Amino acid sequence: MGVAVQSHMFDERRTTSQPFFVYNPDASHPRNAWRTARPLVPAALRASASTADGPAFSRLQLFSWNIDFSCSESEARMRTALAHMRPMIEALDEADAVVIFFQEMTKSTLHVIHETDWVCERFYSTDRVASSWISTYGTITLVDRRLVVAPGGVRRLRLRSEFGRDGLFVDLLMLPSGGGGGGSSDGMQQQQPQQEQAQEQAQQPQHKVLRLCNVHLDSMSSNPPVRPTQFAMLAPLLQPSDTVQAAIMGGDTNANQRYDVDLPAANNLGDTYLALGGVEGAVDGHTWGYQSAYTRFSPARLDKLLFAGAVRPTRLQRFGVGVLVDDVGARTRLEDIGEEEFVTDHYGLWGTYELEGGMALARGRDAWTLSALPNGHA
């Protein structure tokens, strides 16, 4: 059960030379086993990484938002969250690729996502149902349908965790410098002798991936601390390699202790907020602590976007600040039971990234398929 991208969808020049997840900690142990997420719609779909689909993408717009699972009126809050994000996304340049990380999703909020037409038309989803989550809530990543997901490139890494947390990985295919990735438009390639074609393909650079990782790390302080171990499990998978050109890890890192400040740098990960001139501890970096009826901790920068390799952050901003549920009935019911009327207790993060070194994200149509899923179920 999982994402299956058929081999005929990618020719030899568009695949990597080694397995994607070369770091696989004792997969025989249930705690460490990879769990494969599922795409959104069941259909056999054709993929293309050629310039026929338009120019490749060199810029990524990444949104991340934690929608509190424990608050009532979850469907109304999720509908408001999507409505709040829609104008931001629709205003983006068409040349920008878009990815969304959500944390603390529930069965009901998944339902809202999959019944929202504009979301389904624009994005693939890693999870249609909650079967790949270890807990009663989990993460979901929405991927721009124009992007090409690498074969076997959607997986989960179960973390050492008190709350059933994991890392949700998505590998997006990248094109080398000056590469459109497509075949010859005039058919001359088909007329070349087989040996000449083989030599030409051998000289083509191997395609790498932009690896994205959506996380919701353990909450609370924990004794002994758990988040350093979680960073140590995730970080090796995000470093540049024969497979990975660049990587971005984002989400709710629950950085509520002093030791959390040092974890990204200690694991060779850049911090987008700091890289763009932010100051650790400054109020303008806080993403949590102002929209909760009850807070155990002081306001803090719990949510982060981290990066490694040939990717450069150019912009970061918060969104979802002060957004109230737009369903009047739901707001009244929240007020009656003493819960906050905000969509969630977290602010969202919106980061803009450029891919360095002339690399670009492969652009394709309908790059995923469910044809290999048992009984065709999503």
How far is Cα 144 from Cα 101, in angstroms, rounded to an integer? 12
Residue 331 structure tokens? 């707001």
Ramachandran sector of residue 373 (left: φ over 0; alpha: ψ -120 to 50; beta: rest): beta
Domains contained in the chain, number: 1
How far is Cα 149 from Cα 145, in angstroms, rounded to an integer? 9
- 3-class DSSP state of 337: coil
Tens digit of each residue's pLDDT, the chain (378 residues)? 333 332 222 222 222 222 223 323 333 444 434 444 444 333 323 333 333 457 899 999 999 999 999 999 999 999 999 999 999 999 999 999 999 999 999 999 999 999 999 999 999 998 888 888 889 999 999 999 999 888 788 899 999 999 999 999 999 999 876 544 433 333 334 445 555 544 544 444 567 999 999 999 998 777 789 999 999 999 999 999 999 999 999 999 999 999 999 999 999 999 999 999 999 999 999 999 999 876 677 899 999 999 999 999 999 999 999 999 999 999 999 999 989 999 999 999 999 999 998 889 998 854 443 222 233 332
Find the domain containing 359 and state its range: 40-179+204-376
Half-sphere exposure of 290 (CA within 13 A, CB side): 13
Is 60 inside a domain boundary?
Answer: yes
Place of tokens 């100051």: 279
Neighbours of 71 (CB within 10 A): 20
Spatial CB neighbours of 202, under 8 Å, sequence gap ≥ 6: none
Is 257 inside a domain boundary?
Answer: yes
Is 7 inside a domain boundary?
Answer: no
Residue 156 maps to which CATH number? 3.60.10.10
Residue 88 structure tokens? 């931001």
Name 248's bridge partners. Answer: 212, 307
How far is Cα 153 from Cα 3, in angstroms, rounded to an integer? 8
Identity at 98, one-letter amino acid code: V
Is 28 inside a domain boundary?
Answer: no
- 3-class DSSP state of 331: helix
Q: pTM (2 decimals)?
A: 0.81
How far is Cα 251 from Cα 75, in angstroms, rounded to an integer? 21
